[in-house]
């Protein structure tokens, strides 16, 4: 007799019990609890052709490895889509992915060394090719009603991001000169060129913070067909805060630059989902919530992967996801302007004014109060 509790599924095993699991089933159940790479591929796979991630016939990424070009790209993408995901977490995802695909194979080493080396083998040109494909898709699906007087308007903005304080990062992207040595973090200046219609990040230029934004902007002029400067802080806020690019994590300049490129791809992938939802349900793309789309993706991707091998049900769930994204609209607030200020105060720790190994702090954590003479 079948016993089900569709509204409280977690109580089913408590009330009626469940058959014992085999060793393999137990292992698969444990790894399935993690979000695997397949979750993201089930959601974004139709946006990135397999040909762009095919194993090379010669040279770099030509050997058959556990971290193939395909696996490494999706693993790196998962790290940018879910902020605060460590390399160890990603290795667990890859182990889960392999066990779900080939149960008889070994899970592989839990060390992060192979993954970090695989990321270093990622060719920047391959990442750029995927990024360009997404831009062309986003721009190719812009509706005539989204154009400004029939023109494709571009918007420009600049920002800075920080990265780990390593000698190599400091050499290429030095910290502000106003900060004491050993007390600051290397910083990169980025100037981005966005599409007003689709919201896509079309291109960006990067340098140290000692290069002015206007100089970086000149590097982007060749990509312009029509130009007008607008205030687009919102786009960079979505990339830096929602996707976690505000503080980068790689230890070398080359990997930091790849990390920025992967964040750009992640941003455009989310934009592609928003555009798809807007087209299917005839809503204004500018009203769809970016943060809401990211949250929907994170919760629905595992369900999409669970329906792998059932294309009709998977497509129906995908349609439901697009409908949900299309309904999550940002309220119209014309003329709304709020100060860049925080209400919640940070904890009252002392500020680092010397290199950490030279800094001495009192037993209490509070900042020393100034005394009046």
Q: Report yes or no on 104 lying in a domain.
A: yes
| Rg of the chain taking only CA atoms, in angstroms | 24
Q: What are phi and psi of 104, to 5 degrees?
A: -80, -10
Rounded to whole angstroms, the Cα distance separating 234 from 116 reads 32
Q: Report yes or no on 12 lying in a domain.
A: no
Taking alpha carbons only, the member of 327, 302, 332 closest to residue 314 is: 302
Paired sense of beta strands 201-208 and 187-195, if any: antiparallel
Structure token pair of residue 188: 């990169």
102/161 same-domain check: no
Higher per-residue confidence, 202 vs 59: 202
Q: Report yes or no on 4 lying in a domain.
A: no
Contact 171, 252 (CB under 8 A): no
Q: Report yes or no on 141 lying in a domain.
A: yes
Contact 290, 242 (CB under 8 A): yes
56/165 same-domain check: no
For the segment 160-175, the average pLDDT, to the nearest whole number, is 95
Long-range contacts at 333-337 (CB < 8 A, ≥ 24 apart)? none
From 122, 142, 167, the end of a domain falls on: 122
Residue 60: predicted pLDDT: 67
Taken in order 138, 140, 142, 147, the sign of the CA dihedral is positive
How many residues are there in the chain?
373
- Give me the residues paired with residue 160 across strands: 189
108/189 same-domain check: no
Range of the domain at 86: 21-122
What's the N-to-C CA distance of the chain in angstroms?
84
Please list, in sequence order, all residues whose beta carbon lies within 8 angstroms of the beta carbon of residue 361, skipping any fewer than 6 positions away: 350
154/230 same-domain check: yes
pLDDT tens figures, 324-369 = 999 999 887 776 666 778 888 877 778 888 887 888 776 665 655 5
Whole-number average pLDDT of the chain: 80
117/156 same-domain check: no
Rounded to whole angstroms, the Cα distance separating 188 from 295 reads 28
DSSP letter at 247? B
192/168 same-domain check: yes
From 106, 122, 138, the end of a domain falls on: 122
Rounded to whole angstroms, the Cα distance separating 188 from 206 reads 7
Residue 28: predicted pLDDT: 38
Taken in order 305, 131, 273, 329, the sign of the CA dihedral is positive
Q: Report yes or no on 373 lying in a domain.
A: no
96/52 same-domain check: yes
95/43 same-domain check: yes
Q: Report yes or no on 2 lying in a domain.
A: no
Q: Report yes or no on 154 lying in a domain.
A: yes
Residue 233: predicted pLDDT: 62
Going through the chain in order, the beta strands assigned E by DSSP cover 154-162, 187-195, 201-208
Structure token pair of residue 201: 């990040």
From 88, 122, 156, the end of a domain falls on: 122
255/142 same-domain check: yes
Residue 336: predicted pLDDT: 66
Our count of domains for the chain comes to: 2
200/272 same-domain check: yes
Residue 302: predicted pLDDT: 74
Q: What percent of the chain has pLDDT over 70?
A: 77
Q: Report yes or no on 360 lying in a domain.
A: no
């Amino acid at each position: 007799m079948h016993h089900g509790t569709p509204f409280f599924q977690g109580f089913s095993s408590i009330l009626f019990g469940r058959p014992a699991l085999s060793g393999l089933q137990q292992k698969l159940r444990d790894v399935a609890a993690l979000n695997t790479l397949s979750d993201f591929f089930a959601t974004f796979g139709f946006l990135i052709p397999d040909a762009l991630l095919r194993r090379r016939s010669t040279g770099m990424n030509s050997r058959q490895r556990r971290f193939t070009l395909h696996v490494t790209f999706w693993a790196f993408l998962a790290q940018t889509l879910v902020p605060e995901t460590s390399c160890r977490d990603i290795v667990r995802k890859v182990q889960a992915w392999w066990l779900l695909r080939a149960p008889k194979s070994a899970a592989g080493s839990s060390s992060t060394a192979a993954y970090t080396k695989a990321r270093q083998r990622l060719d920047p040109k391959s990442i750029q090719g995927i990024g360009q494909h997404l831009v062309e898709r986003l721009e190719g699906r812009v509706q005539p009603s989204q154009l400004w007087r029939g023109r494709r308007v571009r918007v420009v903005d600049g920002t800075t991001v920080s990265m780990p304080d390593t000698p190599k990062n400091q050499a290429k992207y030095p910290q502000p000169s106003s900060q004491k040595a050993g007390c600051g973090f290397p910083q990169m200046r980025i100037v981005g060129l966005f599409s007003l219609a689709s919201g896509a990040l079309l291109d960006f230029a990067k340098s140290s913070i000692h290069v002015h934004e206007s100089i970086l902007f000149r590097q982007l002029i060749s990509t312009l067909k029509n130009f007008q400067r607008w205030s687009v802080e919102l786009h960079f806020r979505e990339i830096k805060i929602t996707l976690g690019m505000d503080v980068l994590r790689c230890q070398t300049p080359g990997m930091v630059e790849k990390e920025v490129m992967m964040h750009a791809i992640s941003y455009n992938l989310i934009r592609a989902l928003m555009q798809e939802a807007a087209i299917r349900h005839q809503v204004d793309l500018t009203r769809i919530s970016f943060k809401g789309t990211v949250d929907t993706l994170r919760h629905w991707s595992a369900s999409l992967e669970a329906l792998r091998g059932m294309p009709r049900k998977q497509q129906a769930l995908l349609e439901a996801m697009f409908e949900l994204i299309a309904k999550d609209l940002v309220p119209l607030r014309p003329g709304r302007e709020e100060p860049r200020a925080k209400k919640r105060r940070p904890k009252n720790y002392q500020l680092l004014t010397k290199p950490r190994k030279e800094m001495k702090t009192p037993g209490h954590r509070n900042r020393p109060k100034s005394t009046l003479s």
